[in-house]
Amino acid sequence: MSARMYDIKEHMAVVGSDGGHVGTVDKLEGDRIKLTKKDDPDGSGQHHHYIPVSAVDAVNDNEVRLNMPAERARAAAVRG
């Protein structure tokens, strides 16, 4: 498990490399970040989506920053 995974906590904002909002951490599941349903890219708020931890560039106190722009991250998020 990557050291940065240990730093990822529930309710942290997930943002793209451009600072755009991607979602909010619901929890970690294996090597994926599960986003809250309210951040469902289709706008329905009914589904969880997942981002691989390998897409994480940095983790600070309040935020998980990805190594790709927000729009690309939202498009690449896998529905769970």
Per residue of the chain (80 residues), give pLDDT as tens.
454 677 999 999 999 999 999 999 999 999 999 999 987 666 677 788 999 999 999 999 899 999 999 999 999 888 87
Q: What angle do CA 55, 20, 63 make, to 5 degrees?
A: 60
Q: Tokens 């050291």, residue?
A: 3
How far apart, in whole angstroms, are the C-alpha atoms of residue 11 and residue 26? 6
The pLDDT of residue 1: 42
Task: State both tokens at 11.
Answer: 């309710």
The pLDDT of residue 33: 95
